[in-house]
Amino acid sequence: MAIAHRGASAYAPENTVAAFDEAIRLGAAAVEFDVRLTADGIPVVLHDATLDRTTNGHGAVARRTWVELLRLDAGSWKHPRFAGTRIPTVEEALRAMDRRAIPVLELKTPLDPQRLHRLLADHAVLDHAVVLSFQAQLLAKLHRCMRRLTLGLLANRWRPGLPRLCQQVDAQILALSYSALTLQRAQQVAGEKRRLWCYTVNDVAAIAACTAVGVEGVITDYPDRIGARPKT
């Protein structure tokens, strides 16, 4: 399954509606995006804790109100044709996808479970969305409040017991860095009846390797490369 990393971020500014639209146009089955909170508590879509890399703003996202973020340009850094692109709210991201792709929300900061429930329910994706986090305790808390929600534990390196930890916090998915992937580890994940995703996989040969060991979902900047064959 092609999971567009922050949207089709190779072609459009990451974590913007433009990137989500492009990912869907390219056939991505799912679109992953990052969630942070503004100073006034609005869930917005941005990867970094600061605004400097992907906008013309500066400083911490958590110290800016939503109205302040509205004034920023989140597209020119990628290409002049994206000038004026805004940082979307999570609600705007879900509306843009409109159930055309599975929304995959990576929580960069804790989000109130009731608020998350309302957001997903209002867009009829409660049984459709996936929520990812590096924090196992956060996932466990979400599961207690929303047992219908599909959860995924992110891991940037392999640790003994990772598949079992997924089981303990009711995370159906282990999203593992591609650099930590081996056949034996993939088999351990399958043995605990967890689904395995890998991130961030952009090389066609690496995508083929993921498929060969049983990876179900590939998080990639190039969703159009899923299904392509490596050159011989």
Residue count of the chain: 232
Q: What is the pLDDT of residue 216?
A: 97
Token readout for 203 is: 């090389």
User: If we measure between CA atoms, which residue out of 116, 82, 61, 59 comes closest to residue 8?
Assistant: 82
Q: Would you say residue 221 has pLDDT above 50?
A: yes
Q: What is the pLDDT of residues 20-63, one digit of tens each?
A: 999 999 999 999 999 999 999 999 999 999 999 999 999 999 99
Residues with Cβ within 8 Å of residue 59, at least 6 apart in sequence: 50, 51, 52
Q: Mapping DSSP to helix (H, G, I), strand (E, B) and coil, where does residue 30 land?
A: strand
Q: Is the pLDDT of residue 230 over 70?
A: no
Range 200-207 average pLDDT: 97
Average pLDDT over residues 155-163: 95
Query: How would residue 232 be classed by pLDDT, with cut points 50, 70 and 90?
Result: very low
What are the residue boundaries of the structural domains of the chain, listed by start?
Answer: 2-49+88-206+215-225
| Active-site hit among 5, 58, 79, 143 | 5
| Beta bridge pairs of residue 154 | 175
Say yes or no to pLDDT of 231 above 80: no
pLDDT value for 136: 96
Compute the mean pLDDT over every residue in the chain, rounded to the nearest whole number. Answer: 96
Whether the CB-CB separation of 216 and 30 falls below 8 Å is answered with no
CATH code given to domain 2-49+88-206+215-225: 3.20.20.190
Q: Calculate mean pLDDT across residues 70-95.
A: 98
Q: At residue 167, what is the residue type?
A: Q
- Cα(94)–Cα(20) distance, integer angstroms: 10
Q: Work out the angle at residue 107's Cα, subtended by the Cα atoms of residues 60 and 55, and round it to the nearest 5 degrees.
A: 35
Mark whether 79 is an active-site residue.
no
Q: Could you give the percent of the chain with pLDDT greater than 70?
A: 97
Q: Using a pLDDT cut of 90, give the percent of the chain over it.
A: 96
Mean pLDDT in residue range 193-215: 97
143 annotated active-site: no
* pLDDT interval class at 228 (50, 70, 90): low
Residue 185 Cα distances to 7, 171, 210, 223, angstroms: 28, 17, 12, 24
Query: Which tokens go with 39?
Result: 């100073």
Q: Is 43 helix (H, G, I), strand (E, B) or coil?
A: strand
